[in-house]
Amino acid sequence: MKHTHGSIEVVCGSMFSGKTDELIRRLRRAVIARQKVQVFKPSIDVRYAVEKVTSHAGSDFDAIPVEKAEKILDLLEKDTTVVGVDEAQFFDNAILDVVVKLASKGIRVLVAGLDQDFRGEPFGPMPVLMAIAERVDKLQAICMVCGEPASRTQRLVNGSPARFDDPVVIVGASEMYEARCRKHHEVPR
């Protein structure tokens, strides 16, 4: 089934807030509705499976890893009506042009990603994706310190909060992440 209008939907929040689970839920509903779905993710994300988007809870959906956002347009199949993009914060700003082009073609674009980095600052292209989307859902996790709703991601290095000047993106590193509320999120300078 073809959509009459394209659209951009963004699911964002901290780590452990259920972003990928929500993305997968929407993708599965599109499949049930007999829509042609393609899913893409940055090739930098190899935490669970290379050719799947996988939530921390264990849900997964087949995905095509791409190094650059522009590759999505090259790999788009003619009859695709729904495109999913996971971990969008890891793409450069070219993802903005890609999702706009897809939506302009009448495609429903579902984007998931962290809206803030471990410092609590806007992460990559996510703020602009949120601004140009027709729909934005910001999910919350549970603070690992107090149990209140959490909107931030705390990076821990050897059990202590990562410092502000630590690298924003560390792939394959062994530090831990926790969801934290505003009160318990710490970023020492």
How many Cβ atoms sit within 10 Å of the Cβ of residue 145? Answer: 16
Local confidence band at 155 (pLDDT 50, 70, 90 cut-offs):
very high
Residue-wise pLDDT tens digits, 28-50: 999 999 999 999 999 986 555 66
* 140 three-state secondary structure: coil
Mean pLDDT to the nearest integer, 100-123? 97
Hey, what amino acid is at 88?
A: A
Question: Residue 87 catalytic?
Answer: yes
Query: Is this structure's pTM higher than 0.85?
Result: yes
Catalytic residue among 87, 134, 175, 186: 87
Encode pLDDT of 117-154 as tens digits.
999 999 999 999 999 999 999 999 999 999 999 999 99
Tokens of 37: 């779905």
Domains and CATH numbers, the chain: 7-139 (3.40.50.300)
Residue 139 CA: distances (Å) to CA of 81, 115, 167, 186: 25, 10, 25, 20
